[in-house]
Structure 1
Amino acid sequence: MLPHAERRSAGPGIAVRAAGIPAIALALAVLAFALLWFGTLGARHLLGPDEGRYAEIAREMLSTGDWVTIRYDGLKYFEKPPFHMWMTALSYALFGMGEWQARLCVALAGLAGVAASMTAAARWFGARAGWLAGLVLASAPMWNAAAHFNTLDMTLSGVMACVLASLLLAQHPATTPSAQRNWMLACWVAMGIALLTKGLVGLVLPGLVLVAYTCVTRDLALLRRLHAPAGIALMLTVALPWYWLVARRNPEFLRFFFVHEHWQRYTSTMHARQGPLWYFVPLALGGFLPWLGLLPAMVRIARHGAGSTGTTGTTGTTGTTGTTGPAPFQPALMCALWALSIFAFFSLSGSKLPGYILPVFPALAILAGAALAQTSVPVWRTQLRAMLAIGALGLLASPVVATLDSNNTPNVLYHAYAVWVAMAFVVVCACTVAALWLLRRHGRMASITAYALGMLLAFTVALLGHEAIGRPASGSDLAAPIERVLRPGMPLYGVGMLDHTLPFYLRHPLTMVAQPDELAFGTEQEPQKWLPTIDAFVDAWQHGPPAVALLSPRTFAELSARVPMHVIARDWRRVAVANFPVAGVR
């Protein structure tokens, strides 16, 4: 039976409702989410390494017209497949170059993950659960933050959410055979896109989950409902042409990509990204923080087979035959195993980065949506009070941010960011108080919706505030004075440093000097495109054409004693110099 506030809000005065919410309120909530989601994409400068790297790769792709051989700073770069860069280059072609265009792909991928999760949850657990699953995922800190950083992890995770959702939709017992086939083909297409986004992980992760599910349930009949022959053919049709073309044009690609970037990355610590076995535990907890109170209910739903529907053994809804009928598909268990299997897979890897576990969040959101749909008012009130306490503690602890210092980021920038962190926790507290008030006056759905919107707003504030650190780190303030000196075709050297952001803002690739950094493979393949020693650089600097160089302050202090260097601009990370006098600069 509905609580009094929910019964009152469900009266005849409101004719049109969706998921228990008046249509006008639903529309306003969606509009608010959309404004926060897309309206902030260009509010921050790009951060290195990932954001600047992938923005620049896409720029070079569009500039050169070569959409097959991926290049970074003019060198072959085969660490990742091209789908994310294709989409970013397309964004540039349609809307011009800038920060929001560079982030549009990840924002759309994040939104696709939300929409796919909502659709699957609504199909299995009801419209209300679908709406709630969308609220949970959109306001999960790690998901909405990643949807505003230009990285491949978010694009892959959005595609993987579509893989999971398509599988769940295909296996619903009320799905007709033709619809089941179409949803499974959509699942295989999504896996093909995943292969084009981040390689074999796009196939390995769903395969791992499927093995885990069949081992736990012993539901081998599921394998016959995957439409594997047609699906594999479709997946290869999507993914294989690029792999074939790039290998044909670059024979060195196959070994580097599959051996070095897959096997050695997973089994070794060669990329210096190691972490303990529990590395992802705090990330998962923090990334799902506003909804952690739902975990016990989510576990119960997965254990008790929520959403499972038996069959009578007749052909039609499940596409199977027999007198006893197949085991019912268990969507909640599938979501739980999806999250656990992917979490375990990356926890065992020798290479760890925070974004690797992003694909677990859509599965968690579906479970959370189903749990929220069944949560009582007292339980939800307890959840809100716990979050209010967390928000208050975070507000009290926010001055700690102002004490941070590192070689890469001066304390003065952390001091400015601490104010934004405090503001974010103020929003957390305020929206939680508002949710408690709405719970009393208008019921659970209004309370949960306002809470989710408030959480998204709070973490958006924290993200926007990071511009206090991000703008100086990006070097964008140096772009204008350098552009006044740098000419098309003029060498732009990176002396002992790979600057990931300035090349994008300058629309000009670097020529590496002395340290190839992550461009080592490219320099091996095309050694004529870099200077392997400082002596080679000094010779080119003194006897070569006009040029500009980027150096660390320490390297500048060492080299300026050997050769003439005319400072163009500088910040705490880099010094920009020319080998010729610069008008207006002393």
Structure 2
Amino acid sequence: MNDHARIAAGHEGPRSHASAPAAPRVLGLSVGALVLIALGVLLWFLTLDARHLLASDEGRYAEIAREMLVSGDWITPRYNDVLYFEKPPLHMWMTALSYELFGVGEWQTRLWGACCGLIGLGAMVLAARRWWGSRVAAWTGLILAATPNWYLGGHFNSLDISVSAALAVTLAATLIAQHPQAGVPARRRWMLLAWTGMAAAVLAKGLIGLALPGLVLVVYSVATRDWRLWARLHLLPGVALFLVLVVPWFWAIGTRHPEFNHFFFIHEHLQRYTSTVHRRDAPPWYFVPQFLAGFLPWLGLIPGMWRAARDERATPGTPVPFRPARLVGIWAVAIFLFFSASSSKLPGYLLPVMPAVALLAAIALERLPSRSWARWMWTMLALFALVAVLSPFAGKLGKAPGPRALFAAYGHWVLAASLLMALGAAAALWLRRVGREGTGRVAYAVGIYLGLTVALLGHETFGRPASGVDLVPAIERVLRPDMPLYGVKRLDHTLPFYLRHPLTMVAEPDELEFGVGQEPRRWLPTMAAFDERWRTGPRALALMTPETRDELKAAGLPMWPVAEDARRVVVANFPTAPAAAP
């Protein structure tokens, strides 16, 4: 791009070497860029320990990994000491490894997810740099880091970020392998990395790790009539590597537990996708508002993203008619539609779309006219200012005094976050006015990133009471390692992790239905069985809702209070000291 075109596109104008000597560079990056990256990565990890675990994913996968580490059984996942075959073990393996290296704790449970967030980001930056140059690569990293959906995904202990990072590696490696300047050996190496990414995705969340890339390639081939792409995927060595990585665990657990295959492949894949067996049904447009909120700071780039994928021509001067932006666009749309058609929907299912969306947005940002950028900045400045003005009224969202107080407290964090984002937009407008629009775009991304960090830190306002961690000291004074801890009609996803003690389910197995069905001795299926065990069995504690406590107390069951909050109570079947206030 010549100087005139760069200025017209809103980039920095040319500067003479005499008046502006080149800044020192390391690994092709300026010192300022390296400092910004270092601070961003540092902040990315430092906030992992600032919040307590949330139900259900964070507590569930933290506890599965803890039980895996304690038992030494890295083949059979267990949750509350019963078989748990809903998901493959890669995420739990890495979390258990984090425990082994750094101890059991909250930031350790989120460490692998945070690493996955950066792995996916780094993979897309490499692909963008290979095809579109360093500037688009820089925009890709900034946009993805400042995308709410991806930022939040990288800071929660959830399998969705694991599979999304693995799929991002698959997409990025495939793009790099198909570059016209890639020789056969380089193409083979990158495609083997892509197959490794698919294997990791399968071990993270199941067959979607293979089905989604396969779907994208089929749609891309039909849309572009590029069937020669399949000859460049190195199918034979790729499939061999994929099987070597994936088969051992599936073979080991299937051999040890023959019931695994039907439950995992039929119930957790076919029935989950085609029916409402998991009671997570939602309308087909469910992910539309999810996407609009999760990509909000960059929605103004969508028209340019569409044009980048639609108008792309085949790579000139090469017999390979490959269209990288078209593949990236099809990746985003096909996966979005795949999950929209599913009968089971959760917000995290949108995560695999975001790396591709960020790359397309980076291409659009590089080509965005200066006036269009200014209009979008004014729009976002007005929006963030409006949120800041409304933040003092957050306390009116709750339906009871307790929730209203929590919302009011969180309103202060919303105010701070919105002001940081508004400051980023204002800085972008000012820097554009003084002829430094490129720096202004960086400033806007930094403002969004800092605002997301503050908003997430403030979520501890809700997270601490939801986790039940304040009950732990009172419970630990009574609970012994060999003492039963019953979950009466309630599966609590966070207290078992904090207590380092699994629950024994009573009457309602919740999502442990398969596990207790395979090992019925590990639960009490009826309230009558619990009544007898509670009255005549060994000393024990029971966790339940306040309503269940009142019902059982009215029925004459002996119970002594141990700890209580608004969500749960813990009682004993033997006299204890009075419960401490939470």
TM over 0.5: yes
Distance 1:540 1:119, change over 3 A: same
- Describe the superposition over 1:80-120 as per-residue Cα deviations: whole angstroms up to 9, x where unpaired: 00000000000000011111100011100010011001000
Matches within 5 A, 1:68-217: 68-217=75-224
Q: Structure 1: how far apart are the matches of 2:178 and 2:341? A: 30
Residue in 1 that maps onto 2:562: 568
Aligned length: 572
Q: Structure 1: how far apart are the matches of 2:55 and 2:206? A: 22
Matches within 5 A, 1:298-377: 298-305=305-312, 308-312=314-318, 325-326=319-320, 328-377=321-370
Residue in 2 that maps onto 1:317: none
Distance 1:442 1:510, change over 3 A: farther
Shift of 1:422: 2.3
Residue in 2 that maps onto 1:322: none
- Describe the superposition over 1:495-522 as per-residue Cα deviations: whole angstroms up to 9, x where unpaired: 1100000000001100001110000000
Q: Which amino acid aligns with 1:169?
A: I
Structure 2 gap ranges (5+):
none
Q: Which amino acid aligns with 2:499?
A: L
Q: Structure 2: how far apart are the matches of 1:298 and 1:361? A: 13
Residue in 1 that maps onto 2:262: 255
- Describe the superposition over 1:445-472 as per-residue Cα deviations: whole angstroms up to 9, x where unpaired: 2111111111011111111111000000
Matches within 5 A, 1:195-274: 195-274=202-281
Q: Which amino acid aligns with 1:581?
A: P
Shift of 1:578: 1.3
Answer yes or no: is 1:462 the counterpart of 2:455.
Answer: yes
RMSD: 2.0
Q: Structure 2: how far apart are the matches of 1:122 and 1:144? A: 22
Q: Which amino acid aligns with 1:232?
A: V
Shift of 1:419: 2.1
Tell me whether 366-375 or 389-398 shows the greater mean CA deviation.
389-398
Answer yes or no: is 1:429 the counterpart of 2:422.
Answer: yes
Shift of 1:533: 1.0
Contact 1:395 1:426 in 2 (8 A): yes
Q: Which amino acid aligns with 1:538?
A: D
- Describe the superposition over 1:385-428 as per-residue Cα deviations: whole angstroms up to 9, x where unpaired: 11112212222343453222369983322222222122211111
Shift of 1:553: 0.3
Q: Structure 2: how far apart are the matches of 1:207 and 1:287? A: 26
Shift of 1:255: 0.2
Determine helix, strand or coil for the equivalent of 1:569.
Answer: strand
Residue in 2 that maps onto 1:538: 531
Q: Structure 2: how far apart are the matches of 1:408 and 1:501? A: 24
- Describe the superposition over 1:172-191 as per-residue Cα deviations: whole angstroms up to 9, x where unpaired: 00111100010000000110
With the length of structure 1 as denominator, give the TM-score of the two structures.
0.94
Match for residue 415 of structure 1 among 408, 411, 416: 408
Residue in 1 that maps onto 2:73: 66
Shift of 1:61: 0.3
Match for residue 275 of structure 1 among 282, 290, 294: 282
Answer yes or no: is 1:286 the counterpart of 2:293.
Answer: yes
Q: Which amino acid aligns with 1:564?
A: P
- Describe the superposition over 1:236-288 as per-residue Cα deviations: whole angstroms up to 9, x where unpaired: 11111000000000010000000000000000111111111110001111111
Contact 1:19 1:127 in 2 (8 A): no
- Describe the superposition over 1:194-249 as per-residue Cα deviations: whole angstroms up to 9, x where unpaired: 11000000000000000100000010100000001110110111111000000000
Residue in 1 that maps onto 2:12: 6
Contact 1:417 1:466 in 2 (8 A): yes
Q: Structure 2: how far apart are the matches of 1:538 and 1:515? A: 15
Residue in 2 that maps onto 1:318: none
Answer yes or no: is 1:579 the counterpart of 2:555.
Answer: no
Distance 1:406 1:523, change over 3 A: farther
Q: Structure 1: how far apart are the matches of 2:435 and 2:182? A: 36
Contact 1:29 1:453 in 2 (8 A): no
Q: Structure 2: how far apart are the matches of 1:92 and 1:189? A: 25
Shift of 1:569: 1.1
With the length of structure 2 as denominator, give the TM-score of the two structures.
0.95
Residue in 2 that maps onto 1:405: 398
Answer yes or no: is 1:510 the counterpart of 2:516.
Answer: no
Match for residue 553 of structure 1 among 538, 546, 562: 546
Distance 1:423 1:9, change over 3 A: farther
- Describe the superposition over 1:555-586 as per-residue Cα deviations: whole angstroms up to 9, x where unpaired: 01111232221111110000011112223548
Distance 1:453 1:9, change over 3 A: farther
Match for residue 474 of structure 2 among 476, 481, 488: 481
Q: Which amino acid aligns with 1:44?
A: R
Determine helix, strand or coil for the equivalent of 1:414.
Answer: helix
Distance 1:585 1:374, change over 3 A: closer
Residue in 2 that maps onto 1:440: 433
Q: Structure 2: how far apart are the matches of 1:278 and 1:584? A: 51
Q: Which amino acid aligns with 1:224?
A: A
Q: Which amino acid aligns with 2:388?
A: L
Q: Which amino acid aligns with 2:49?
A: G
Q: Which amino acid aligns with 1:304?
A: D
Contact 1:5 1:441 in 2 (8 A): no
